[in-house]
Amino acid sequence: AQSVTQLDSQVPVFEEAPVELRCNYSSSVSVYLFWYVQYPNQGLQLLLKYLSGSTLVKGINGFEAEFNKSQTSFHLRKPSVHISDTAEYFCAVSDGGQNFVFGPGTRLSVLP
């Protein structure tokens, strides 16, 4: 069985500061990892995904994530956040199908 842990339910950060949203997973098989963002009153949008190859993955809106197999982590980072980055962020794992297992989400609040 697969599971995803997002330890931080809420992360407040000032505008232009760096941010890291943590994600850890557990799985008995090879995994594919994803980060989705959910803006208020909108659907989920794919930020980035790791399928294979380079462990550093770059996504949209200046976000990137690094796959660390030994630590079973896939933390999301951005060097300088904007007010518009305020949203809920979900980490997800898949074993190859599209039935993702999502984490509980981290609410990022960017303060002026």
Partner 1 sequence: GAGVSQTPSNKVTEKGKYVELRCDPISGHTALYWYRQSLGQGPEFLIYFQGTGAADDSGLPNDRFFAVRPEGSVSTLKIQRTERGDSAVYLCASSEYLGENTEAFFGQGTRLTVV
Nearest-angstrom CA–CA distance, 106 and 91: 9
What stretch of H or E contains 68? strand 64-68
Smaller CB separation from partner 1, 103 or 110: 103
Residue 102 binds partner 1 (CB under 8 A)? yes
Q: Residue 3: which H helix or E strand, with range?
A: strand 3-5
| 101 touches partner 1 by CB under 8 A | yes
Candidate list 7, 17, 51, 56; residue touching partner 1; CB under 8 A = 51
Residue 76 binds partner 1, judged by CB under 8 A: no
CA–CA separation, 21 and 19 (whole Å)? 7
Q: In the set 19, 100, 108, 110, which binds partner 1 (CB under 8 A)?
A: 100
Q: Smaller CB distance to partner 1: residue 70 or 98? A: 98
Task: Count Cβ atoms below 10 Å from residue 69 Cβ, excluding itself.
Answer: 10
Instruction: List the end-to-end C-alpha distance of the chain, in Å, as a whole number.
Output: 41
Q: Binding of partner 1 at residue 40 (CB under 8 A)?
A: no
Binding site for partner 1 (CB under 8 A): 4, 32, 36, 41-46, 49, 51, 90, 92, 94, 96-105
